[in-house]
């Protein structure tokens, strides 16, 4: 009887210590699911979802505050991967959010007055300039979020669709037409 009690006590103590150690050793700061969701979002920081960036939206999804269908730049692919990650059913894209062609912001340098308002709006610091100096967009860093458009007092920023390039060209999904999708050559 006594041996049994002692054994169980010893076991409880040992496992208690083990668990205590593990919780200290493998302590995770913050909610890991938020990081995982954030990982799947396209990081345009555009705020079209109604949150102030991708991470706040990820937090909202994790807390169940928001649906997974509010990321317009991510489109259907993001909805599917989020559904996959969270074990939810995929839902169609929120109707208020129209899909957009991937674009880049371009500043008309003749019109720019150097007010720096767009610099402050850009979530990824992709606009280069200083007060009363002409501004320009670093094309390779622009996420096409359009957040720089409203603050511009002279409307000198426009969005230009990214042109189709050979480097980024993708094979289309095969049609049902047959073995080859190639167009017949012009004689």
Partner 1 sequence: MSSTVSPFAPQPAQRRLWQFPGGLHLPDNKLQSTGRPISPAPLPPRLILPLQQHIGAPSELLVKPGEQVLKGQQIARAKGYVSAALHAPTSGRVSAIGPHPVPHPSGLSAPCIHIETDGAEEWAELPPPLPDFEQIEAATLRERIRWAGLVGLGGAAFPSAVKLNPGPDQPIHTLILNGAECEPYITCDDMLMRERADEVIAGARVLLHILGADRCLIGVEDNKPEAIAALRRALQGAGTLPIEVVVIPTLYPSGGEKQLIRVLTGREVPSNSIPAQIGVVCHNVGTAAAAADAVLHGRPLISRVVTLTGAAMAEPQNREVLIGTPADWLIAASGGYRPELARLVLGGPMMGISLHTDGIPLTKGANCLLATSAAESPHPGPALACIRCGACARCCPVSLLPQQLYWFARARDFDRIQDYDLFDCIECGCCAYVCPSQIPLVQYYRFAKTEIWAQEEEKRKADRARRRHEARVARLERLEQERKSRLRKRKEELSEGTAPSSGTAPGAHAKKAAIEAAMRRVAEKKSAEAVAPANTAELTEAQSRKIEAVKARRRGTAQGTEPAPEPAEDGEP
Q: Looking at residues 2 to 21 of the shown chain, list those that interact with partner 1 (rule: CB under 8 A).
A: none
Residue 147 contacts residue 46 (beta carbons within 8 Å): yes
Q: Is position 171 an interface residue for partner 1 (rule: CB under 8 A)? A: yes
Of the candidates 49, 152, 161, the residue with the CA atom closest to the CA atom of residue 105: 161
Interface with partner 1 by CB under 8 A: which range of 12-20, 64-72, 89-97, 123-131?
123-131
In a 3-state reduction of DSSP, which class is residue 75? helix
Cα dihedral 141, 67, 36, 60 sign: positive
Q: Two tokens at 16?
A: 């208690």
Cα dihedral 178, 179, 180, 185 sign: negative
Q: Is position 124 an interface residue for partner 1 (rule: CB under 8 A)? A: yes
Q: Is position 96 an interface residue for partner 1 (rule: CB under 8 A)? A: no
The residue to which tokens 């371009």 are assigned: 106
Q: Is position 151 an interface residue for partner 1 (rule: CB under 8 A)? A: no
Interface with partner 1 by CB under 8 A: which range of 8-16, 43-51, 59-67, 128-136?
43-51
Q: Quick one: which of 34, 42, 129, 157 contacts partner 1 (CB under 8 A)? A: 42
Q: Is position 126 an interface residue for partner 1 (rule: CB under 8 A)? A: yes
The residue ranges that bind partner 1 (CB under 8 A) are 38, 41-45, 53-54, 77, 123-126, 141, 143, 164-166, 168-174, 176-187
């Amino acid at each position: 009887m006594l041996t049994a009690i002692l054994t169980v006590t010893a076991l409880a103590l040992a496992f208690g210590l083990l668990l205590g150690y593990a919780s200290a050793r493998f302590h995770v700061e913050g909610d890991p699911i938020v990081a995982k969701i954030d990982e799947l979002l396209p990081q345009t920081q555009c705020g079209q979802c109604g949150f102030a960036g991708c991470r706040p939206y990820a937090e909202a999804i994790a807390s169940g505050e928001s649906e997974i269908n509010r990321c317009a730049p991510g489109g259907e692919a993001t909805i599917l991967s989020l559904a996959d990650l969270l074990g939810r059913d995929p839902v169609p894209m929120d109707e208020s959010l129209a899909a957009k062609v991937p674009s880049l912001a371009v500043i008309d340098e003749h019109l720019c007055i150097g007010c720096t308002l767009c610099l402050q709006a850009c979530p990824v610091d992709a606009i280069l300039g200083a007060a009363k100096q002409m501004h320009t967009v670093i094309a390779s860093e622009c996420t096409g979020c359009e957040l720089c458009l409203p603050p511009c007092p002279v409307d000198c920023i426009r969005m230009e669709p990214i042109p189709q390039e050979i480097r980024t060209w993708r094979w289309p999904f095969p049609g049902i037409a047959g073995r080859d999708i190639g167009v017949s050559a012009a004689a």
